[in-house]
Amino acid sequence: MRISLRKCVKIAICLFISVFSIILYFHDNFEKSFKTQGQSFGQKQHGVVGPVDQHSDTELSRKQRNAMSVETIKDDEKEKTHKVLPRLKSKNSTTEIDDIFIAVKATKKYHNRRLKLLLDTWIPQAREETYIFTDGDDKLDVPDGHLINTNCSNTHNRIALSCKMAVEYDFFMFTGKRWFCHLDDDTYLNVPGLLKLLQSYNHTDDWYLGRPSLRHPIEVMKRSNPEQKIAFWFATGGAGFCISRSLALKMMPHASGGRFMTTSDMIRLPDDCTVGFIINNLLQKELTVIDRFHSHLEALFLIHNLKEQLTFSYSDNNIVHIDGFSKNQDPTRLYSLHCMLFPTADICDTLRKGHTVA
Ligand code: UDP
Ligand code: MN
The whole-number average pLDDT for the span 238-262 is 98
Give pLDDT, residue 53. Answer: 26
Q: Where along the chain do its domains lie? A: 60-289, 300-352
Give pLDDT, residue 6. Answer: 66
The whole-number average pLDDT for the span 11-16 is 56
Q: Name which residue sits closest to atom 9 of ligand 1, judged by CA.
A: 106
Ligand 1 centre from 238 Cα, in Å? Answer: 9
CA distances in angstroms from 352 to 122, 307, 321, listed in the order given: 18, 20, 19
Residue 243, SS3 per DSSP = strand
Ligand 2 centre from 295 Cα, in Å? Answer: 7
Cα(313)–Cα(336) distance, integer angstroms = 14
Please provide the size of the chain in residues.
Answer: 358
184 Cα nearest atom in ligand 1: 15
What kind and span of H or E run contains 131? strand 130-134
Ligand nearest to the CA of 109: 1
- The reply to whether 28 belongs to the active site is no
Task: State the pLDDT confidence band at 88, using cuts at 50, 70 and 90.
Answer: low
pLDDT at 118 > cutoff 60: yes
Task: State the pLDDT confidence band at 17, using cuts at 50, 70 and 90.
Answer: low
pLDDT tens digits for range 286-296: 999 999 999 99
Give pLDDT, residue 91. Answer: 78
Fold adopted by 60-289: Spore Coat Polysaccharide Biosynthesis Protein SpsA; Chain A (3.90.550)
Catalytic residue among 184, 272, 316, 346: 272
Give pLDDT, residue 90. Answer: 79
Where helices occur in the chain by DSSP H, the ranges are 5-47, 56-71, 75-84, 116-120, 158-175, 191-199, 245-250, 252-255, 259-267, 271-276, 334-341, 346-352
Pocket of ligand 1 contains residue 333 by CB under 6 Å: no
Task: State the pLDDT confidence band at 13, using cuts at 50, 70 and 90.
Answer: low
pLDDT tens digits for range 41-80: 222 222 222 222 222 322 222 222 222 222 223 334 444 4
Give pLDDT, residue 204. Answer: 97
CA distances in angstroms from 215 to 212, 236, 296, 298, listed in the order given: 7, 12, 15, 12
Give pLDDT, residue 87. Answer: 56
Ligand 1 centre from 342 Cα, in Å? Answer: 27
Pocket of ligand 1 contains residue 156 by CB under 6 Å: yes
Ligand 2 centre from 77 Cα, in Å? Answer: 53
